[in-house]
Amino acid sequence: MHHWLKGAALLVSLALCLSLVPAARAGGESEFLAGQSKACPNCSLHGAGLKRKDLSGADLSGADLSLAVLHRARLLRAKLDGANLANANLNKTDLKNASLAHAKLNEAMLYETDASAADFAGADLSGAKLQRSRLIRAKLDGAKLGEALLTGAHLDEASLAGAILEAANLVEATLRRANLEGADLNNAGLVDAALREANLKGANLSEADLFAADFTGANLEGADLSDSRLTRAVLTGANLKGAKLKGAIMPDGAVHE
């Protein structure tokens, strides 16, 4: 009987421990929302109101922040790797040096956000609103930016190797010395964009609108520019070795055969 009682007590103790697990997690989220902690990895923060919060250095890797309001929040050096920020409001947020590798940011709002030197490698930014954002020296290798709005965005010296920018709006964006090797810019809008000394080796710019874009000193070796519009574009010193230009409207208005 004694052994049976010990076994029963053990089972009760185990059941109590298991019942406390969800409460402990909820407590962690409560502490984070109350500003008592900056570590909340894998937390459920869907729709959380974090406007103007100072979350510098916070660990939110893998957290669900979909539809969260982070307007003007400080996320300097924050860890958001693999986090879900779909449809979140990150307008005018400070994301400098933050890590958002493989994060979900589809349809998110990042208007005038400063994400200089941030890591978005492999992140999904499809349809994101990034107008006038600062992404200087940001890492966006392999990121998905299809149909994203990047009007007037600053991407100087950013790395976008292999990134998907199909049908993205990059009108008046600056991409000076940016690395776009192998990037897909099919049907993208780059009217008046600054691409001086940018690396576009092997990039797909077919059907892109490159009206008055500045490619001075850019590397376009092996790039696909077929059926693109290069009217008034500046190609001074650009490397066009092996580039495909069939059907492209050249700077002088002539259609390349």
| Tens-digit pLDDT profile for residues 102-116 | 999 999 999 999 999
d(CA 75, CA 102): 17
Token pair listed for 154: 């600053």
pLDDT of residue 194: 98
Residues 170-186: what's their mean pLDDT? 98
pLDDT of residue 8: 46
Spell out the domain ranges in the chain: 1-37
Q: Above 80 in pLDDT, residue 26?
A: no
Mean pLDDT (the chain, rounded): 92
pLDDT of residue 28: 80
> Phi/psi at 25 (nearest 5 deg)?
-65, -45
pTM of the prediction?
A: 0.88
Token pair listed for 78: 């924050």
pLDDT of residue 246: 97
Yes or no: say if 29 and 44 are a contact pair by the CB < 8 Å rule.
yes
pLDDT band at 155 (very low <50, low <70, confident <90, very high): very high
| pLDDT digits 0-9 by tens, 197-253 | 999 999 999 999 999 999 999 999 999 999 999 999 999 999 999 999 999 999 999
Yes or no: say if 232 and 253 are a contact pair by the CB < 8 Å rule.
no
> Taking the C-alpha atoms of 39, 42, 47 and 50 in order, what is their torsion angle to the nearest 10 degrees?
10
pLDDT band at 84 (very low <50, low <70, confident <90, very high): very high
